[in-house]
Amino acid sequence: MNINADTRLYCLIGDPVSNSLSPDIHNYLFDRENINGVYMCNRIEKENLKRFIDAVKLMDIGGFNVTIPHKVDIMEFLDEIDENAKIIGAVNTVKNIGGILKGYNTDGTGFVKAIKDRGYEIKGKKIIILGAGGACRSIAVELASEGAGHIELRNRSIEKAQIIKDILDVNFEISVSISSESVSKEDIENADFLINTTSVGMESDDCPVDAGISVSSDTVVYDIVYKPHCTEFIKWAEKNSLDTIYGIEMLINQGITAFEIWNECIIDKETAKELREMIVNKSRNKYKNNI
């Protein structure tokens, strides 16, 4: 990294930001793509969001990512918001276009990119999503936007699933069902994708499905939890010979997508592969988990 008078600043804001892997992702890409930028983390409290926005404009910061707890609150300070981010109701990426700040949500697009990169189709597919929090909302909107055939939302609090169903019903031509029941063998076998967006399994050995269920189908299992790298849910899927997508893919791809928006470039497959290896190693050292 060669910081000089022309280096453009990018950053992550949130509270906290200390364990983020985003600087590793973006500084690797700046270096690899030979773009004169640097990425830092800033802990910003909610009452300072407006001052931060003023600083972005004053210092001509190229763009920034937004994490918990500011993904919704930041929206009122932006000049433009991408259509799907508006539907999701949250922004995790902002681009400074000559002083105009435009918000995007790359959580869902990064999630979907990982599916497409693996060669899977989304159009017309039957998808079960476990959970109904913020992550589910961005993922469900992007899947609907990609033409998914049916989305079934499973969440222990049915009211939260209903809110997301209402958003999908209003904005997309898609059939959506909701349930608070846990998934059965038949449910899984009838689904093309089974996605965990709950926090179950995060830094624990809990599994969001009954690990005693055994299935025989082509269902693709995608866990958005990435700490540990190989969750109990992924282990269960692999035991059942199901194809799997690990949570780290969503993390990396939301970063790649943000980088592509900021720098109007496309990250090729080889660079993405090398980035993935670097991040998986880094994550293993950082969290000393069971990668």
Q: Are 110 and 257 in contact (CB under 8 A)?
A: yes
Cα four-point dihedral sign 12, 196, 192, 90: negative
- Tell me the closest approach of the beta carbon of residue 196 to ligand ATR, in angstroms: 9
Q: Which CB atom, from 193 or from 262, has the smaller least distance to ligand ATR?
A: 193
- Tell me the closest approach of the beta carbon of residue 199 to ligand ATR, in angstroms: 5
Cα four-point dihedral sign 6, 12, 17, 19: negative
Cβ atoms within 10 Å of 270's Cβ, excluding its own? 9
Does residue 235 carry a catalytic annotation?
no
**Can you list the alpha helix ranges (DSSP code H) found in 19-133?**
22-32, 49-59, 83-88, 106-117
Q: How far apart are CA 188 and CA 288, in angstroms?
A: 32
Q: Are 129 and 151 in contact (CB under 8 A)?
A: yes
DSSP assignment, residue 192? S
- Tell me the closest approach of the beta carbon of residue 11 to ligand ATR, in angstroms: 21
Q: How far apart are CA 205 and CA 130, in angstroms?
A: 17
| Catalytic choice (46, 50, 57, 71) | 71
Q: How far apart are CA 112 and CA 119, in angstroms?
A: 11
Phi, psi of 227 (to 5 degrees): -125, 100
Chain position carrying tokens 């980035």: 275
Could you list the residues that contact ligand ATR (CB under 6 A)? 131-136, 155-157, 160, 197-200
Token digits for 162?
């209903």
Which residues are marked as active site? 71
